[in-house]
Amino acid sequence: MSDEIIRRDPRAEWIARNRLHPLHDAMQQAGAAETRGPSGLIRRNPHAVGFIGPNGIKRIDRMNGNGPAVGGRRSAGAAKEVELPLHKVENPDYYVVVVPDMVGGRLSGHDRDVIGQAHKLIREGEGAGAVLAVVFGEHREEAFDKAGVDRLLNITGEAYEGYTPELRVAALEQVEKEYAPKYWLLPDSVAAGFEIGCRLAARIGERPATQAWQVSSDEAICRGAGGTTDITRKTPRLMLLAEECAEPIDETRHEVLPLELETSVSVQAVIQDCGQVAVDPNAIPLGEAEFILSAGNGVTDWNQFHQAAEALGATEGASRVAVDDGNMPRFRQVGATGTWVTARVYVAVGISGAVQHLQGIGQCDKVIAINTDVGCDMVKRAALSCIADSGEVMAELIRLANAYRQEVVENAA
């Protein structure tokens, strides 16, 4: 690897070059792959070739190893992460404010694109601008610096937890007053950005560009008419950006200096959040479901499978064989000829992992396989595999899920 530091030992190198040196033979012998035998023929010692890698497996480095590596010893702390250059903005002339969605408390890919766009606008304009990210509530993001955040305004407090669009917009209005940003950039997403952006735009009287996908400092191209037309317009101050609007930041680190609002905001919120509602997982369209328990030919007890799905609160899916055999309805089929699912967690019970099936789960994050066959493709795809009979594992899962529910109820009481 190029970023490993190679420590040279000049003395050893010199001895290796000098065949008359008294230590030459001994030194060469230690790591020699080729030696001259007594009859003058070249002898290869395959055991001496290469070196032992960090995980105990022998590695042959065919790139550096043209000759016994006598002098070069690889440093122990291999694969060190490169330190990216720090981008500093001392006294920003203006701010570009980004309000990321922070789905699950972390920056999403869309958020990073928007921050990338903010830096693009700063690069095109004059003066030193800083990207100010406004984050509500507790967050779990550790890499704000690598995402390109110069200043971070984290507005915390119990009032900001949950669904509080009115309070958030009031806080952003305060940001508008105190920092007078040059641009407001938000992700045009279902998660939060679209709603907050529209509310803010209506509040501060800006006309936003929505679904903007190509933005420079003087012109913005936006998708209009439900995505069927492109509107080219002058770049407004407030923009709701489409996904992949710009390249995310990946070559610099940024300061992430904390900022604060001078005055705290409070509003009488009229929209009352009564919490998320339990929905029947099987009523969720398969393509949208977050958590799918999917059955294949390896499932024999179908009642038990339905019980398991219910106990875990998972949406049911199936492989084609399970559907063709009449054990599951057609609309439950996952795969090339069924539904392409986007679940975050996909549990495949007794599914071998045929390509047609794997295509359908291409977008799933975590795949868990329960299968009797270690060699099958699903196990190769899965992040966690259990090599066991599906029935036994499902029985245990049902027990665990019920015990967990019981515990939650007891704790709540």
Ligand X SMILES: Cc1cc2nc3c(=O)[nH]c(=O)nc-3n(C[C@H](O)[C@H](O)[C@H](O)COP(=O)(O)OP(=O)(O)OC[C@H]3O[C@@H](n4cnc5c(N)ncnc54)[C@H](O)[C@@H]3O)c2cc1C
Residues that bind ligand X (CB under 6 A): 296-298, 319-322, 333-338, 350-352, 354, 356-357, 360, 370-373, 376, 389-390
What 3-state class would DSSP assign to 1?
coil
Q: Which stretch, 145-153, 179-187, 299-307, 361-369, contacts other proteins (CB under 8 A)?
A: 361-369
Q: Cα separation of 227 and 248, whole Å?
A: 23
Give the shortest CB-125-to-ligand X separation in angstroms: 50
- Name which of 212, 215, 242 is nearest 230 in CA terms: 212
379 binds other proteins (CB under 8 A): yes
Q: Which stretch, 259-267, 309-317, 319-327, 330-338, contacts other proteins (CB under 8 A)?
A: 309-317
249 binds other proteins (CB under 8 A): no
What 3-state class would DSSP assign to 262?
coil
3-class SS letters over 180-233: CCCEEEEECCCCCHHHHHHHHHHHHCCCCEEEEEEECCCEEEEEEHHHCEEEEE
256 binds other proteins (CB under 8 A): no
385 binds other proteins (CB under 8 A): yes
Give the shortest CB-296-to-ligand X separation in angstroms: 2
Give the shortest CB-284-to-ligand X separation in angstroms: 19
Q: Which of 55, 272, 303, 411 binds other proteins (CB under 8 A)?
A: 272
- Residue 163 binding target from other proteins, ligand X, none, CB below 5 to 8 Å by type: other proteins
Q: Cα separation of 325 and 297, whole Å?
A: 9
The whole-angstrom distance between residue 348's C-alpha and the CA centroid of its chain comes to: 22
79 binds other proteins (CB under 8 A): no
Q: Cα separation of 311 and 329, whole Å?
A: 20
What does the buried/exposed string (b/e) look like for 274-304 if buried means 16 or more CB atoms within 10 Å of the residue's CB? eeeeeeebeeeebeebebbbbbbbbbeeeeb
Nearer to ligand X by Cβ, of 293 and 322: the residue is 322
Nearer to ligand X by Cβ, of 181 and 335: the residue is 335
Give the shortest CB-189-to-other proteins separation in angstroms: 9
Q: Cα separation of 110 and 189, whole Å?
A: 8
Nearer to ligand X by Cβ, of 242 and 318: the residue is 318
Whether 314 contacts 291, CB under 8 Å:
yes
Give the shortest CB-108-to-other proteins separation in angstroms: 12
Give the shortest CB-193-to-ligand X separation in angstroms: 34
- Kind and range of the H or E element at 253? strand 253-254
- Residue 325 binding target from other proteins, ligand X, none, CB below 5 to 8 Å by type: none
Site string for other proteins, 5-44 (x = CB under 8 A): ----------------------------------------
Contacts of 129 (CB under 8 A, 6+ apart): 89, 92, 93, 94, 95, 96, 121, 122, 182
- Residue 41 binding target from ligand X, other proteins, none, CB below 5 to 8 Å by type: none
DSSP summary character for residue 246: S
Nearer to other proteins by Cβ, of 255 and 373: the residue is 373
Cβ-in-10-Å burial (0-12, 13-18, 19+) of 314 comes to buried
- Within residues 39-58, the interface with other proteins by CB under 8 A covers none
Q: How far is CA 376 from CA 208, 228, 353, 381, in A?
A: 52, 44, 7, 9
- Name which of 346, 347, 345, 349 is nearest 390 in CA terms: 349
Nearer to other proteins by Cβ, of 124 and 244: the residue is 244
Give the shortest CB-44-to-other proteins separation in angstroms: 25
Other beta carbons less than 10 A from residue 340's beta carbon: 14
Q: Which of 194, 239, 294, 319 binds other proteins (CB under 8 A)?
A: 194
- Within residues 204-233, the interface with other proteins by CB under 8 A covers 207-208, 210-211, 213, 222-233
Q: Which of 9, 34, 93, 288 binds other proteins (CB under 8 A)?
A: 288
